[in-house]
Structure 1
Amino acid sequence: MPASRIKVIADIGDLVSVFHACDSEVKKKVFMEITKKWCTVEEIEEKYGEEGVDALKYLEKIKLVETQWVTGEQGVKKAYHTYYDLFQINLSLPIIEAAEVIRVVTMSDEEFKGWEEKIIKAIGPSKDIFLGDLVEKMGISQIMLRGLIRRSTRIDIKGMRVEVVK
């Protein structure tokens, strides 16, 4: 039996990702499927539709999956499998930051989509912006902004830049 891999959560923003890894029935099913075996995007799409593909992209974005190339009847394809067996949460944070993260985690999908659209609009046509500039434009804390971005499949943080994912 292979050794367990532990995802250590030491950043409050990562906590948002963990809570939303399986926040819908389809995400949960995709996650369970790739825990059992290696699956290609096509297999996930066939079984769970476009929502399943989006779930897989989200799991890849938050780095809960590993990939490998597999050879099948239709040639070489990228396959996905869960990377971690366990989570270890190790956080200390001010209560005000905890409140903002809890807000992002428990936010309805409708409210979240509204925030996501505001962020994309604030980023503008360049499709990327410095994190500090976006915090100022949005008028929200960096913790809340990071939480919203971690929950999104359409926006990502690369270093100190926020970008719209293509």
Structure 2
Amino acid sequence: MRRAGLALAAALASALCLAAASDPAERLPDPAQEARARTLFKEVRCMVCQNESIEDSQAELAVDLRRLVRERVAAGDDDVAVRRWLVERYGEFVMLRPAFSIANLVLWLAPLAAVMVGGLALVTRVRGAGAETEWLTPEESARLAELVRTADGHDPAFKSSPDDPKA
């Protein structure tokens, strides 16, 4: 039992060490540049995992994106230039927090507008349901009254069911 506990602890410790040491061979020699790159990693979406940053993801694409960001930082690009380069290359989706734009506003407001239009249609429909509607023309109403009178008067031509005692 004790060996199993030790083995489990060793496995967890090695997993944590692996997670903490992301791309150790590729770290930038300048600590300030590495810190900037790591800050950018937290803002960039892993295109495989989609809701994880490339900082947290271990997918091959995330590793490649970390390498590319480090290259851009090492080349002297500032953070804005790196973000712009990523968006030009991969589209706005690559950023975990996309920049505000009219297109993004439309994406956020379209579902709200659809719900509002649906609610308005529902309210209009419910309010209109109370209005009296004539379903039959006067001729049809007269014909229906005649049929009901004939059925109540035990007309031999009208038999509602084979077991009807009135018939």
TM-score interval, normalised by the smaller of the two chains: under 0.3
Question: Which of structures 1 and 2 has the larger relative contact order (alpha carbons within 8 angstroms, sep 6+)?
Answer: 1
Tell me the TM-score normalised to structure 2 length: 0.23
Greater Rg by CA = 2
Decide which structure has greater strand share: 1
